[in-house]
Amino acid sequence: MILRLSNLFVRTLRDDPADAELPGHTAMVRAGYIRRAGSGMHTWLPLGPLVYRKVEAIVREEMDRMGAQEVHFPALLPREPYELSGRWEEYGATLFRLQDRRGNDHLLAPTHEEMFTLLVKDLYSSYKDLPLSLYQIQIKYRDEARPRAGLLRAREFVMKDSYSFDVDDEGLEASYQQHRDAYIATFDRLGLHYVIVSAMSGAMGGSRSEEFLCPTPVGEDTFVRSPGGYAANVEAVVTPVPDPLSYDDVPVAHVEDTPDTPTIETLVAFANEHFPRGDRHWEAADTLKNVVVMLRYLEGGRTPLVVGVPGDRDVDTKRLQAQVEPAVVEPFTDEDFAAHPALVKGYIGPQVLGEDSASGIRYLVDPRVVEGTRWVTGANRHGHHVFDLVCGRDFTPDGTVEAAEVLDGDPAPDGSGPLELARGIEIGHIFQLGRKYADALALQVLDQHGKLVTVTMGSYGIGVSRAVAAIAETTVDELGLCWPRQVAPADVHVVNAGKGEDTGAAAEELAAGLDAAGVDVVLDDRAKLSPGVRFKDAELLGVPTIVIVGKRLVDGVVEVKDRRTGEREDVAVAEALDHLIAVCRS
């Protein structure tokens, strides 16, 4: 294949587009791979599908290799299956809902758990039919609150989603492992670097869940890793629980007037000045910060929740949200405060909290708040704090919750050392669903003893269009895109950088020779452009090998440049074809 820039439907942009935020996305727009079609919607120009289809083919090959079978569901679906599973409501505003001309409710599927479950129920009935893994590569829709980052968080995108069906937990574990291996093979072939991190699975009812994250500062997922090999997304990080402390010597709790201490910082400073402790200075970690939120439930209703965390860290809303799903965390408004007079804004303290208290307000604390810990915290009176309030003596929380932010240097829960925080792009997710959907949709088979058993499922996703973006973001450099050869739109970019007919003819001949050998070529045969513009475009487009047929042709050489390393070498014209074929096949 020869892509001629003289007629390829592409225009490179000199300036960064207004709608692009990330370096890879910016380069993809500037190089003419994609364009914005609407909020969270993208149009692929001709170079784009060439990369996309190579990525898709690798994903498909590895799924086929592991024995998964390809099916294909509509993206537009009737409401009923999602009603049965509860997700018609659960998905909230992220689900695109619409009605057809008869007024029947439909949705644009964000994932297809229900359809896969019902399909297997339709066709299979015996343990002998299992294990089974099915997949599809299909457009998905999510009405994101904040579409951003180009292909990384789009409202229409392509996903490979697969599902495993097993008769028992060992089977599920084996299917899960097969998918894990297939994902490793897939991402390795795509040239993506990745970390496999533990992920939350509790709320979805499953038992094991891991994410494949591509580490990059522009990633929107935060994860942690330790020197000893622990890795998890922040939602899944478990806080090591300290031993209880003796509190025999702790003085009785005492309320103090603490004017002008609206923040933890001012409170600590005030305490050190007016109520110094003998042994050391007060620190932020000695204070107990009580944060109140509203939980909104799918079935209707809102209830307040107070979360107590050591004052040296904030509540991480994403972590809290992950713990309370499918309830939704909402801000506690001034109206809410008015309706709950027990809560004094800025001075909430544990003494009035708890399901058994007069207020009845649920109170969960960070796992570090163990029995015997001694706190400075709100006294439920404006301008007042209480000192020496001891957990287990002066208050008893309703339980603990993993909602405090994770900080660099926190200990890994498995003792493998201090955690380092990093960012990444989620490119894959594997998930032991268990029996949630099989229960909801009554997917059962007969086991060896002729007894009906509920099937256990796994759910596995790869963002195919997102993988293209992840490759772009993690390989882009200051000159532009830099595709790994296995997904590049072509192997060689031939630049005719001369002005005479000689270089034109030589460039054409070289391109024809490469094409005949099955090497895909971008040929810059555009008229009347300076060599400088051509070189810049070649760097920007990101084909792995660049050949410059230019001034040096009179000396019988062309210049071959490796896009990634920037290494250049002169190659004799007579040997250029063989040399390039060898480079492309190495």
Residues that bind its own copies (CB under 8 A): 7-11, 32, 35, 37-39, 41-46, 48-49, 52, 69-78, 93-94, 96-98, 100-101, 104, 106, 108, 115, 119, 122-124, 132, 134, 139, 141, 143, 145, 155-156
Residue 452 burial by CB count (10 A; 0-12/13-18/19+): exposed, middle or buried? exposed
b/e sequence 46-72, b meaning 16+ C-beta within 10 Å: ebbebbbebbbebbbebbeebebeeee
Would you say 267 and 261 are in contact if contact means Cβ atoms under 8 Å apart? yes
Q: Which is nearer to its own copies, 115 or 271 (CB)?
A: 115
Compute the least distance from the CB of residue 96 to its own copies, in Å.
6
Contacts of 401 (CB under 8 A, 6+ apart): 307, 320, 323, 364, 365, 366
Would you say 160 and 462 are in contact if contact means Cβ atoms under 8 Å apart? yes
Q: Which is nearer to its own copies, 126 or 266 (CB)?
A: 126
The amino acid that residue 379 corresponds to is: A
Compute the least distance from the CB of residue 570 to its own copies, in Å.
34
Q: Which is nearer to its own copies, 143 or 312 (CB)?
A: 143
Tokens 């532009």 correspond to 480
Would you say 26 and 45 are in contact if contact means Cβ atoms under 8 Å apart? no
Compute the least distance from the CB of residue 59 to its own copies, in Å.
14
CA 24 – CA 157 distance, rounded (Å): 17
Residue 429 parent element (H or E): strand 420-434
CA 347 – CA 541 distance, rounded (Å): 58
Would you say 421 and 414 are in contact if contact means Cβ atoms under 8 Å apart? no
Q: Which is nearer to its own copies, 42 or 436 (CB)?
A: 42
Compute the least distance from the CB of residue 256 to its own copies, in Å.
47
Compute the least distance from the CB of residue 1 to its own copies, in Å.
8
Q: Which is nearer to its own copies, 139 or 196 (CB)?
A: 139
Q: Which is nearer to its own copies, 126 or 263 (CB)?
A: 126
Compute the least distance from the CB of residue 92 to its own copies, in Å.
9
Q: Which is nearer to its own copies, 9 or 478 (CB)?
A: 9
Compute the least distance from the CB of residue 44 to its own copies, in Å.
4
CA 521 – CA 514 distance, rounded (Å): 7
Compute the least distance from the CB of residue 37 to its own copies, in Å.
5
75's tokens: 């993206």
Contacts of 5 (CB under 8 A, 6+ apart): 522, 523, 524, 525, 526, 537
CA 167 – CA 156 distance, rounded (Å): 34
Q: Which is nearer to its own copies, 43 or 448 (CB)?
A: 43
Residue ranges of alpha helices (H) inside 124-240 are: 169-190
Q: Which is nearer to its own copies, 163 or 230 (CB)?
A: 163
Phi, psi of 375 (to 5 degrees): -130, 150
CA 223 – CA 424 distance, rounded (Å): 7
Compute the least distance from the CB of residue 41 to its own copies, in Å.
4
Nearest to 385 by CA among 275, 466, 465, 467: 275
Compute the least distance from the CB of residue 180 to its own copies, in Å.
21
Compute the least distance from the CB of residue 411 to its own copies, in Å.
40
CA 340 – CA 329 distance, rounded (Å): 17
b/e sequence 148-180, b meaning 16+ C-beta within 10 Å: bbbbbbbbbbbbbbbbbbbbeeebbbebbebbb
Would you say 430 and 210 are in contact if contact means Cβ atoms under 8 Å apart? yes
Compute the least distance from the CB of residue 155 to its own copies, in Å.
7
Q: Which is nearer to its own copies, 288 or 472 (CB)?
A: 472
Q: Which is nearer to its own copies, 38 or 276 (CB)?
A: 38
CA 30 – CA 14 distance, rounded (Å): 7
CA angle 406, 408, 411 (to 5 degrees): 75
Phi, psi of 51 (to 5 degrees): -75, -50
Contacts of 53 (CB under 8 A, 6+ apart): none
CA 215 – CA 229 distance, rounded (Å): 15
Q: Which is nearer to its own copies, 95 or 264 (CB)?
A: 95
Compute the least distance from the CB of residue 166 to its own copies, in Å.
14
Compute the least distance from the CB of residue 45 to its own copies, in Å.
6
Q: Which is nearer to its own copies, 46 or 415 (CB)?
A: 46
Q: Which is nearer to its own copies, 394 or 491 (CB)?
A: 491
Q: Which is nearer to its own copies, 122 or 243 (CB)?
A: 122
Would you say 104 and 79 are in contact if contact means Cβ atoms under 8 Å apart? yes
Tokens 């600590």 correspond to 268
Compute the least distance from the CB of residue 390 to its own copies, in Å.
47
